[in-house]
Amino acid sequence: MTMLKETPLIFTLGSKSFKSSYIRPLDVEMPDLAAYYGDSYRAEMPDIPNVDEITAVRHFTNMSNKNFSVEVGTYPLGSCTMKYNPKVNEDMAALPGFANVHPYQPCDTVQGSLELLYELEMQLNDLTGMDAYTFQPAAGAHGELTGILLIKAYHDERGDTKRDTIIVPDAAHGTNPATAAMVGYKVREVKSNEHGLVDLDALAEALGDDVAGLMLTNPNTLGLFDCNIDKITEMVHDAGGLCYYDGANLNPIMMQARPGDMGFDCVHLNVHKSLSTPHGGGGPGAGPVGCKDFLKKYLPRPVVVKEDDGFTLDYDMPESMGKVRSFIGSFGVLVRTYAYMLRNGVEGLKEVSEGAVANARYLMERVKEYYELPYDEPCMHEFVITSAWQKEKYGIDTNDIAKRLIDYGFHPPTVYFPLIVHEAMMVEPTETETWRDLDALAQAFIDIAKECETDPELVKGAPHGTPIARPDETRAAKDQILTCLD
Ligand SMILES: Cc1ncc(COP(=O)(O)O)c(C=O)c1O
CA of 268 to the centre of ligand 1 (A): 10
Please give the residue range of the domain that contains residue 318.
87-343
Residues 6+ apart with CB under 8 A from 283: 138, 139, 142, 330
Structural domain includes residue 435: yes
> Which ligand 1 atom is nearest residue 270's CA?
10
Facing residues of 425 across strands?
385, 415
Asked whether residue 205 falls in the same domain as residue 309, the answer is yes
Verify that 415 and 443 share a domain, yes or no: yes
**The pLDDT of residue 48:** 83
| Cα 168 to averaged position of ligand 1 atoms, centre (Å) | 15
The predicted structure's pLDDT at residue 485 = 55
Closest atom of ligand 1 relative to the 279 alpha carbon:
10
Residues 287, 420: Cα–Cα separation, whole Å: 26
**Pair 109, 206 in one domain:** yes
Any domain includes 238? yes
Say what the pLDDT of residue 2 is.
Answer: 45
pLDDT tens, position by position, 304-337: 999 999 999 999 999 999 999 999 999 999 999 9
Is 223 found in the same domain as 195?
yes
**Closest atom, ligand 1, to C-alpha of 249:** 1
The helix or strand, by DSSP H or E, that contains position 106, with its residue range, turns out to be none
Ligand 1 neighbour 379 (Cβ under 6 A)? no
Amino acid identity for residue 255 in this structure:
M
pLDDT of residue 1: 43
Domain boundary among 296, 318, 343: 343
For the Cβ of 80 lying below 6 angstroms from any atom of ligand 1, the answer is yes
Q: Which residue's alpha carbon is nearest to atom 7 within ligand 1?
A: 140
DSSP 8-state class, residue 77: B
Are 156 and 344 a contacting pair, CB within 8 Å?
Answer: no
CATH number of the domain where residue 463 is located: 3.90.1150.10
Of 231, 252, 237, 244, which Cα lies nearest the Cα of 183? 244
Same domain? 172 vs 277: yes
333 lines ligand 1 (CB under 6 A): no
362 plus 473 within the same structural domain: yes
> Which of the listed residues 83, 170, 173, 430 should we mutate to test ligand 1's pocket, taking the one with most ligand atoms within 8 A of CB?
173
Whether residue 426 lies inside any domain: the answer is yes
> How far is the centre of ligand 1, averaged over its atoms, from the C-alpha of 438 (Å)?
24
Q: Which mutation among 77, 79, 428 tests ligand 1's pocket best, with the greatest number of atoms within 8 A of CB?
A: 79
Q: Closest ligand 1 atom to the C-alpha of 80?
A: 14
Q: Which of 280, 83, 278, 46 is nearest to 175 (CA)?
A: 280
Residue pair 223/81 in contact by the 8 Å Cβ criterion:
no
Helix runs in 275-330, H state only = none
Quote the pLDDT of residue 355.
Answer: 98
Assess whether the C-beta atom of 428 lies below 6 angstroms from ligand 1.
Answer: no
Does residue 75 lie in a domain region?
no
Could you tell me if residue 70 is inside a domain? no
Of 321, 343, 365, the residue that ends a domain is 343
Residues in the chain: 486
Pick from 343, 375, 407: which residue ends a domain? Answer: 343
Ligand 1 test: best mutation among 144, 148, 175, 414, most atoms within 8 Å of CB?
Answer: 175
Is residue 60 domain-shared with residue 172, that is, in the same domain? no
In-domain check, residue 424: yes
| 392 touches 366 (CB < 8 A) | no
The CATH number for 173's domain is: 3.40.640.10
For the Cβ of 179 lying below 6 angstroms from any atom of ligand 1, the answer is no
Q: Is 414 in the pocket of ligand 1 (CB under 6 A)?
A: no
pLDDT tens for 167-217 read 999 999 999 999 999 999 999 999 999 999 999 999 999 999 999 999 999
- Same domain assignment for residues 152 and 259: yes
- The verdict on residue 210 lying in a domain is yes
Give distance in angstroms: CA of 387 to centre of ligand 1. Answer: 24
- State residue 8's pLDDT score: 84
Do 332 and 239 belong to one domain? yes
What is the C-alpha separation between 66 and 60, in angstroms, rounded?
10
Same domain membership, residue 335 and residue 356: no
217 lines ligand 1 (CB under 6 A): yes
Q: Looking at residue 282, what is its pLDDT?
A: 61
Are residue 325 and residue 429 in the same domain, yes or no? no
pTM score: 0.91
Count structural domains, the chain. Answer: 3
Distance 143 CA to ligand 1 centre (A): 10
Whether 251 lines ligand 1, by a CB cut-off of 6 Å, is no
Q: Which atom of ligand 1 is nearest to the CA of 79?
A: 16
Using CA atoms, how far apart are residues 446 and 369, in angstroms rounded to an integer?
9
Q: Considering the domain boundaries, does residue 78 fall inside one?
A: no
pLDDT at residue 319, rounded to an integer: 98
Which parts of the chain have pLDDT scores under 50? 1-3
Question: From ligand 1's centre to the CA of 265, what distance in Å?
Answer: 19
pLDDT at residue 473, rounded to an integer: 82
Measured in Å, residue 247 CA sits from the centre of ligand 1 at 9
Q: Are residues 258 and 398 in the same domain?
A: no
Beta bridge partners of 385: 425
Is the CB of residue 273 below 6 angstroms from any atom belonging to ligand 1?
no
Residue 69 CA to ligand 1 center (angstroms) comes to 18
